Amino acid sequence: MSLATRGHTFDGIEEFDNRLPNWWLWSFYLACIFSVGYWIHFHTLGTGHLPQAAFLAEQQEIAARLEAELAKNPVTDESLLKLSKEGGVVAEGEKAFMAEGVSCKFCHKPDGSGLTGPNLTDKFWVYGGKPLDIYTTIMEGRPNGMPPWKQNGSMWAQRVTAYVLAKVKHTNVAGGLPPQGKEEQ
Ligand code: HEC
């Protein structure tokens, strides 16, 4: 340590002109080098998952495992309710509901409040509002204009049902189509 000063004073206070400690300099240099690698890995090449994407990937992995498990068992009210609590499954169902072209939103509106197809946000259901009723409606279709979606497979219909249960049913969107069918018990 030398006792040289920087040559200025403030209110009589002077500043020593010391060398920065090596440990400090090296952690600074290493941080600079690390930041270049970090930037290239995450932002230039995109080979790494940033926290949000990593979280989503993890959720999708859990969802895939759960789905594989459920595919072995029959579809029930309980199994559908369980799926409706899985963020990854509901997110996949939402994608299907909102897909471009003739998807659910095309006839039921993006918020599910009804257009040519009935309001899915109220307590009234023509074909029943229980999880299994909704699943059956989606798989088999209904006579007055609801197309069947069996061709997309059971898991697909389960995901869409999970989305309807989690994010559409009972949201009571204002200004939706008037109730049709029977009130839920
Ligand atoms: C081409 C238009 C159309 C599309 C696309 C469509 N629906 Fe429908 N949906 C209808 C119509 C019309 C009805 C009423 C059928 C009837 O009364 O027989 C209906 C009925 C329903 C019902 C029963 C409502 C009740 O009151 O019981 C549900 C649930 C439903 N649709 C969900 C969906 C979902 C989920 C999708 C996407 C996978 C979808 N619909 C796609 C037109 C459509």
pLDDT tens across the length of the chain (185 residues) = 557 898 899 999 999 998 999 999 999 999 999 999 999 999 999 888 888 889 988 988 988 888 788 778 889 999 999 999 999 999 999 999 999 999 999 999 999 999 999 999 999 999 999 999 999 999 999 999 999 999 998 999 999 999 999 999 999 999 999 999 999 87
CA 127, distance to chain mean position in Å, is 29
Collapse the DSSP code of 5 into the 3-class scheme (helix H, G, I; strand E, B; otherwise coil) and give the result: strand
Pocket of ligand 1 (CB under 6 A): 102-104, 106-108, 116-118, 120, 125-127, 134, 137-138, 142-147, 149, 160, 164, 180-181
Count the residues in the chain.
Answer: 185
Position 72 scores a pLDDT of: 83
Ligand 1 pocket mutation, candidates 80, 94, 107, 169, criterion most atoms within 8 A of CB: 107
- CATH 1.10.760.10 in the chain is located at 51-183
What pLDDT shows up at residue 28?
A: 97
pLDDT at 139: 96
What is the residue with the minimal CA distance to atom 31 of ligand 1? 146
Protein residue with its CA nearest to atom 32 in ligand 1: 138
> Residue 123: its pLDDT value, please?
96
Q: Rounded CA gap, 107 and 161, in Å?
A: 16
Q: Give the whole-angstrom CA distance, residue 162 versus residue 49.
A: 27
pLDDT value, residue 185: 77
Which atom of ligand 1 is nearest to 102's Cα? 5
Domain 51-183, CATH among 3.20.20.370, 1.20.810.10, 1.10.760.10, 2.40.160.210: 1.10.760.10
144 C-alpha vs ligand 1 centroid, how far in Å?
A: 9
Tell me how far apart the alpha carbons of residues 105 and 108 are, in angstroms, rounded to a whole number. Answer: 5
Ligand 1 nearest atom to the CA of residue 181, by list position: 26
- pLDDT at residue 59, rounded to an integer: 87
Nearest C-alpha neighbor of 165 from the set 66, 72, 97, 64: 97
pTM over 0.85: no
